[in-house]
Amino acid sequence: MIKWFRIAVLLSFFFASVPGISQRVDESFQTNRWAYLGQVSLGYGFYLNGGDLLHTGFEGRALCFLNEHLAWGGGLAYTQFKPLEGLYGLALLSDFRWFPGAADRRWRFFGNVDVGLGAGGSRLHAGWSMHRPGLRTYAGGGFALRSSGTFRYTLECGYLYQNVQYRDNTPGRGWQVFQTESVMKYHFRRLQIKAGLLF
């Protein structure tokens, strides 16, 4: 009986505190101080790169609004560059965004650039691993549409470059009892389309 009473007290405290938490989040966003952006991406390459021109990925960022028009932050980006071979890149990045319109507009355009360092690996090849970090850069622009409250839907397009280096240390086969190792260097260049949620 005492156990269920404690559970009831905790649940009542949680539901009573939710409106207050939501109010603080709304007030924080209205001061244009902090925001969070999650996106999924689809990219297309300019050249025949092993037959895999398309790539997919997802990204997450935390942005600090310096004023009504400028925001700076950082985040992580995961990109599946060659799905048939399982090659992916993971990057730690710094993001800068410019919002030219007023903060209270329903439609708000923006431009952004990000720079970071990335590493790579393979989901399908057990012997493939990261060789060394590589440069990642991105430049693009888009718009944010306010739906309700603090949420905005975002859509943008831009150009991505990422240098990823993989080490292949797959064990030898047949009469080769030694371990072979090679380094593969990729310079991925992609046009990207991103859709996400800013809150």
Q: How confident is the model at residue 182 (pLDDT cuts 50, 70, 90)?
A: confident
Residue scoring higher pLDDT (178 or 93): 93
Across 12-21, 30-39, 111-120, least confident range:
12-21
Output the CA–CA distances (angstroms, integers) from residue 170 to 6, 102, 111, 174, 178, in the order listed: 56, 55, 43, 13, 10
Output the CA–CA distances (angstroms, integers) from residue 129 to 125, 136, 169, 187, in the order listed: 9, 18, 8, 17
Q: What is the mean pLDDT of residues 147-163?
A: 89
Residue scoring higher pLDDT (182 or 135): 135
| pLDDT greater than 80 at residue 94 | yes
| pLDDT greater than 50 at residue 102 | yes
Q: What is the mean pLDDT of residues 46-58?
A: 68
Cα distance between residue 87 and residue 51, in whole Å: 13
Say what the pLDDT of residue 180 is: 55
Cα distance between residue 128 and residue 122, in whole Å: 6
Does domain 32-198 sit in CATH 2.40.160.20?
yes
- Average pLDDT, whole number, for the chain? 77
Q: How confident is the model at residue 184 (pLDDT cuts 50, 70, 90)?
A: confident
| pLDDT greater than 50 at residue 11 | no
Say what the pLDDT of residue 28 is: 36
Radius of gyration of the chain (CA): 22
Q: What is the mean pLDDT of residues 157-176?
A: 74
Q: How confident is the model at residue 171 (pLDDT cuts 50, 70, 90)?
A: low
Across 25-34, 102-111, 181-190, least confident range:
25-34
Say what the pLDDT of residue 151 is: 84
Indicate the domain borders of the chain.
1-30, 32-198
Q: Per residue in 127-138, pLDDT tens? A: 666 778 899 999
Cα distance between residue 196 and residue 176, in whole Å: 49
